Structure 1
Amino acid sequence: MSEATKAHPVFQPKPNAIEQIFGRRKAIIGVIHSLALPGSPNYDGQPISEIIDFAVAEAERYKAGGVDGLIVENHGDIPFAKPDRLGPETAASMAVMADTVRRASGLPIGVNVLANGAIQAIAVAKAAGAAFVRVNQWSNAYVANEGLMDGPAGEAARYRAFLRGRNIKIFADVHVKHGAHAITGDRTIQELARDNEFFDADVAIATGQRTGDSATMEELQAINAGTALPVTVGSGVNPDNIGDIFTVADAVIVASYMKRDGVWWNPVDPERLNVFMEAVKKARN
């Protein structure tokens, strides 16, 4: 590697973003699946304050259970629109909600704007004081439920710099769920993980095929082998697999298991959350 390449900021070793944000490795990040927001198909006109109250109640249950951080996500907006079809009302609503959740919980928070709204998520994070954003397709392209989805890294990284927001970390899925990867079918998982690192992501995420499905240990290990970034599992984590996952991963993003009856759209169930966190304690030792 040339001296010029060594000097480029993208190729300098990064501090571990999980430790930076949460003050520890083996972090547990809960997900607040928002109710339907203004502009989405299932929004029925209720005051935004009711939507925020639901999010805050979820945050309080997560905090009482001992999670290390939260992601605010507009999962109630299903079916999702592609990024260029998202209206300003989505970002505006999420910014108010995320800021309120952050203040109420005192926990580090992240933002995920579906589907793949990297620009919107960075704007929300800047306005709400969020520490990170999750971007389901940061580099390359894939065929999503919403259609062909391009990786927004070049544009989003410039927008983050424009906002003086380089402190906002990018959590990027490597092999995102809910889609087909024929476009990159000739690329290995290690190469895809390396692409995210090369395009200046801060954390690599492994997922299963759908919400609530677990990433396989083989895929998690392949991602870990392909990047120097910290690795997080973004779906399907439960008390039975957390021990194995934490032999490789630096953090996990958990929602479905912690919800009533294990269904993502239900409220957080404190009993299920306590069962999960007991398993976490054993896995951390």
Structure 2
Amino acid sequence: MNRFNSGLPMSSAPVVRPRAHALMDLFGRQDGVVIGVVHLLPLPGSPEHDGGPVSAIYERAVRDAEAYAEGGVDGLIVENHGDIPFLKPDRIGPETAACMAVATERVVRAAGLPTGINVLANAAEVALAVAVAGGAGFVRVNQWANAYVANEGIIEGPAAVALRYRKALAATSIRIFADSHVKHGAHAITADRSVAELTRDLEWSGADVVIATGQRTGDAANKAEIAEIRGATSLPVLTGSGATIANIGNILRHASGAIVASSLKRDGVWWNEVEVDRVRALMAEAAKYR
């Protein structure tokens, strides 16, 4: 059993039937998992797309994936982070899904690592379709249950519809990684409920892994919030932002792993390319706690 997630407090009853440990199934380990994010360049149709060939987008994605793999990470997430500002899920076009599926297939083939999908903003069904087409094993959904006010407006949790869509695709092996108290937004809608309660809602709604985040991209998760999330669920807990060489050890003391990107890019800037030496250095530090 995971040394961090040994179950709910004695006074709390389980909210769902026990399920297989997603990190063990995907990565072969229950803790110390490090997942690198492949930030795709702006895709066709997005404001910053330069009009060039999509092959350049795929080539950059493969280079970043190979750098992560060479540096020793456990897995990857392919994300359309270059598509700022993001659309609500029902406005995302088929061109985004198509390009992400091709990019994912090439990343999976090149890096040979367990790979996930995050389609921004909060497009769970699109992410599942991309995962099936591209050969990915999990999806990240920032608001899986309940609702919050994001940059894109009011974002509602898609769990009920997305799980039925996953079933229709015969893709129940694709795991759900869901953020608790998601970044880049306001939580006034659920302000009368604690982070622990919101976390239990994720488990109730079929998530397999819970993600603790900071307030924005590159912002580290608060240790107290990680502890509150971890104490509220029997699921593995990862951090979703802010991991660096300096703090990865502290993160792995308190969580089952980390999703990392910005600090492993040239100059620590998320839109730059991944630098393998930065990845190696972070993984060398992480190895002390794995």
TM tier relative to shorter chain:
over 0.9
Aligned to 1:5: none
Question: 2:26 is matched with which residue: 21, 24, 31?
Answer: 21
- Which digits, 9 at most, give the CA deviation of each residue in 1:36-56, with x for residues without a partner? 111111112211111100000
2:193 to 187, 190, 198: 187
3-state SS of paired residue (1:11)? coil
Report the identity percentage: 60
Between the aligned partners of 1:128 and 1:108, the Cα distance in structure 2 is: 12
1:246 and 2:252 aligned: yes
In structure 2, C-alpha distance between the alignment counterparts of 1:129 and 1:272, rounded to whole Å = 27
**Partner in structure 2 of residue 176 of structure 1:** 182
Greater relative contact order structure (CA < 8 Å, 6+ sep): 2
- Deviations 1:215-264 (CA, angstroms, capped at 9, x unpaired): 01100000001111100100001122222221231121000110111111
Q: Structure 2 residue aligned with 1:259, among 261, 265, 275?
A: 265
Q: Report the Cα distance in structure 1 between the residues aligned to 2:285 and 2:53, rounded to whole angstroms.
A: 38
Task: Report the 3-state secondary structure (helix = DSSP H, G, I; strand = E; otherwise coil) of the residue aligned with 2:104.
Answer: helix
CA distance in 1, matches of 2:277, 2:172: 38
SS in 1 for 2:254: coil
Query: Is 1:229 matched with 2:235?
Result: yes
- Give the Cα separation in 2 of the matches to 1:37 and 1:48: 8
Q: Is the 8 A contact 1:18 1:251 kept in 2?
A: no
Following TM superposition, by how much is the alpha carbon of 1:129 offset from its aligned partner in structure 2, in angstroms? 1.2
SS at 1:72's partner residue? strand
Amino acid of the structure 1 residue aligned with 2:242? G
After TM superposition, which residue ranges in structure 1, 4 or more long, deviate above 2 angstroms?
none
State how 1:122-137 maps to structure 2 within 5 Å.
122-137=128-143
Structure 1, unaligned stretches of length 5 or more? 1-9
The answer to whether structure 1 residue 56 and structure 2 residue 55 are counterparts is no
Trace 1:45-84 onto structure 2 (pairs within 5 A). Answer: 45-84=51-90
**TM-score (ref. length: structure 1):** 0.95
Secondary structure of the residue that 2:177 maps to in structure 1?
strand
Counterpart in the other structure of 1:268: 274
Select between 144-153 and 235-244 the one with higher mean Cα deviation.
235-244
Give the aligned residue type for 1:19: M
Total equivalences in the alignment: 275
Note the residue ranges of structure 2 that are not aligned, 5 or more in a row: 1-14
After the TM superposition, which of the residue ranges 43-52 and 172-181 deviates more from structure 2?
43-52
Q: Residue 240 of structure 1 aligns to which amino acid in structure 2?
A: A
8 Å CA contact 1:142–1:182 kept in 2: the answer is yes
Range with greater deviation from structure 2 (234-243 or 189-198)? 234-243
